[in-house]
Amino acid sequence: MQPEKQPVTETDSAQLHPEWKTDDHLINLLRQNAEKHGDQVAMRERERGIWQEYTWRDYLDRVLCFAAGLAELGVGPEDNILVVGDNRPTLYFGMLGAIMLRAVPSPAYPDTTPEEIMGQMQREDIRFALAEDQEQVDKLLGIREDGYAALEQIIYDDPRGLAGKEPAGVIAFTALVERGRQRLKDEPALRDDLLSRASVHDIAVLLHSSGTTGAPKGIPLKHGHILSGVRNAAAAGYFEEGEVHMAYLPMAWVGDFIFSIGAALVLRFSVNIPERQETALHDLREIAPTLYFSSPRAWSNMLTRIQVGIDESTGIKRWLYHRFMPFAVELERRRLDGHDPGTGERIWRALGEFLVYGPIKDQLGLARVQRPYTAGEAIGEDVFLFFRALGLNLRQFYGQTENCALSAAQDPESIKLHTVGKPFPGVEIKLSDEGEILMRADNVFDGYYRKPESTAETLQDGWLHTGDAGIIEDDGQVVVLGRVSEVVYTNAGERFIPTYVENRIKFSQYVKDVCVLGQQRDYLAALVAIDISAVGHWAEENGVPYTSFADLSQKPEVYQLIRGVLAHVNEVLPEGLRLRRFVNLHKEFDPDDGEVTRTRKLRRNVIDANYAPIINAIYAGDDSVDYEASITYETGESGVLKRHLAVSDVTIGGGR
């Protein structure tokens, strides 16, 4: 027996949010943009090297036609619709079409396994799915064949491999749009009817928690939540009208919905979609965005690319870079400490802009960026200062899916590296007696999907319990220390948060992932997954031959390199919390093995189980361990992977 659907709670929502106006919703904003700015470009997609443009009038037309066709299939209020694939205009049009019918798009990460997709579909009674291409359609057909008979219709975008040979229950997006277009011609009143259905109190999207400790929880965000978050951020100068934005981050991530749909509709962004994920950095230069968000790891990877490019460039370029870049970094460090540059420094900085900083920004595609941001975890000081030294006003912001990702950001005039800045207008933040960050705002969600107990734990007396431990400084800036649930103790009673230490280790370009151990142990240790790109380049530059990730990870020179990274982190840790031992793993943590979520958050219980022999060897004082792991190949056959891994102590030396 299936659980009852989430009940319609418009009356309850109106009581919770009396200031929301019923007709203030995403569909109305789309209509207004089409009527007032119909010829302006709303979205662009690079397809086979050519940019395809959609005006606001085109945007509304496709959404209306798709909604009319979708309604003909039987989609209505509260129907959850799976959306899976990379960023594509069709998927954005499809989500707005569902929203127009008061149905709810439920995005999934494109690399989500069939088992994870089926779990999402079962929890949300999914009957309809919108898929990007044949790969995703085949995945969904397999789920239906494996017993999920409730899936009635799959709508696809990319016709390659599907056009003209669709199996039963599969239809092209273009075909459904044409059916809807015909309906709109045959039923003159349908257009106004579709435009008038939505309400500010409707659920606009059903997103999901990371699922680090269990199945992901559904997080319904209403039109009012999204619009409140965007407007709060805009009031703080976080967004400006008419931004040029690149949509390349996963559609299942809250930030993409907020940036590419919410803010885009409120402030008429031009949303630009790269041809493929693999070409995003190349397409970035052609897009030349004014607003750019990327994770700390992606900013770090970009810095690595710059450094590799400089190493491989001409002698004069290398000389100019090393003459001007350290100067700019130190100048920015002093500026953040409150020191104004002198006349000579400003002149030298201007010369550097012409010779070095400007050309680097142009090469990256960041020459027009006015509002670059990062979030999700702490960013390394070296990375942060480097990009600010280039002249990019890089800032951190703070938020969660439960608050539309928009709660606080660093003020450009009072940036402190260790903080996430001050709350946006309309957002209240305080600390509980236990030091947990609590939040109250109109962009805070109203509760988890079909999870009343989780809702009661998270929302208390109107305050969102974020689960983050933090500090509020005297000037109101917020410091995020880590997850409250991750506060653990060593055998000696030393209190620590593993993510705090892990983030500082990952400041190094050479470390992609790390899991810090130490709970109920005598000391801290680390399982390290190297960054194959950065360490591989380092190995080539230093004459260290290797044949594979596993081979490179076990090179003595690489152990010395990582040893130096950990020793550097130890310099800022208390004596009782310094890292003493570590192992370079033979592979990265893998979401398909359940070791990390799709957003690369660690699942510690899985890591503890998967790497138990290695962990035991670390704390037994061994200098190596023979590790065996069961693996399943794509053919379905299984085998055993054997590796001999070194276990090392942390001593001073190596790189950073």
Query: Could you report the per-residue pLDDT of 216-232, keeping only the tens digit for each?
Result: 999 999 999 999 999 99
Q: Residue 373: its pLDDT value, please? A: 96
Instruction: List, for residues 357-381, the tens digit of each pLDDT value.
Output: 999 999 999 999 999 999 988 888 8
Q: Collapsing DSSP states into helix, strand and coil, what is residue 99?
A: helix
Q: The domain 10-222 belongs to what CATH superfamily?
A: ANL, N-terminal domain (3.40.50.12780)
The pLDDT value recorded for residue 338 is 87
Could you tell me if 191 and 184 are in contact, meaning their C-beta atoms sit under 8 angstroms apart?
yes
Residue 346, pLDDT > 80, answer yes
Q: Based on C-alpha coordinates, what's the Rg of the chain?
A: 26
CATH class (in words) of the domain with range 487-649: alpha beta
Angstrom distance (rounded) from CA 548 to CA 587:
10
**Which residues lie below 8 Å from residue 463, measured CB to CB, with a gap of 6+?**
430, 438, 439, 440
Smallest Cα–Cα separation from 236: which of 398, 410, 429, 377? Answer: 410
Residue pLDDT, tens place only, 628-656: 877 665 555 667 788 999 999 997 444 44
Rounded mean pLDDT of 42-56? 96
Q: State residue 656's pLDDT score.
A: 44
Least confident of 140-144, 342-346, 397-401, 574-578: 574-578
295 has pLDDT over 60: yes
pLDDT for 9 beyond 80: no
Residue 506 Cα to chain centre, angstroms: 17
Domain spans of the chain?
10-222, 298-367+369-398, 487-649
Q: Residues 529-559, buried b or exposed e (16+ Cβ, 10 A)? A: bbbbebbebbbeeeebebeebbebbbbeebb
Instruction: Write down the pTM of the prediction.
Output: 0.88
Residue 173: half-sphere exposure toward Cβ, Cα within 13 Å: 26
Least trusted range by pLDDT, from 48-62, 114-128, 481-495: 481-495
pLDDT at 44 exceeding the cut of 70: yes
pLDDT for position 7: 42
CB-based burial label for 246 (10 Å; 0-12, 13-18, 19+):
buried
Digit-coded pLDDT (tens) for 304-329: 889 889 988 999 999 999 999 999 99
**355: burial class by Cβ within 10 Å (0-12, 13-18, 19+)?**
middle
Average pLDDT of the chain is: 93
CA-based nearest residue to 157, from 171, 173, 141: 173
Mean pLDDT over 385-409 rounds to: 96
CA distance readout (Å), 498 to 158, 246, 504:
43, 33, 10
DSSP 262: I
Beta-carbon contacts of 344 under 8 Å, excluding residues fewer than 6 positions away, are: none
Can you list the positions of beta strands (E) in 499-587? Answer: 511-517, 524-530, 579-584
Q: How far is CA 194 from CA 104, 191, 198, 462, 565, in A?
A: 15, 5, 8, 34, 58
Give me the residues paired with residue 527 across strands. Answer: 515, 583
Would you say 404 and 229 are in contact if contact means Cβ atoms under 8 Å apart?
Answer: yes
Helix then strand then coil, in percent of the chain rounded to 5, is 40, 20, 35
β-pair type (395-398, 408-409): antiparallel
pLDDT band at 10 (very low <50, low <70, confident <90, very high): low
Q: Hey, what amino acid is at 102?
A: R
**Distances from the Cα of 586 to the Cα of 29, 544, 628, 645, angstroms:** 51, 17, 11, 8
Nearest-angstrom CA–CA distance, 316 and 262: 46
Give pLDDT, residue 636. Answer: 55
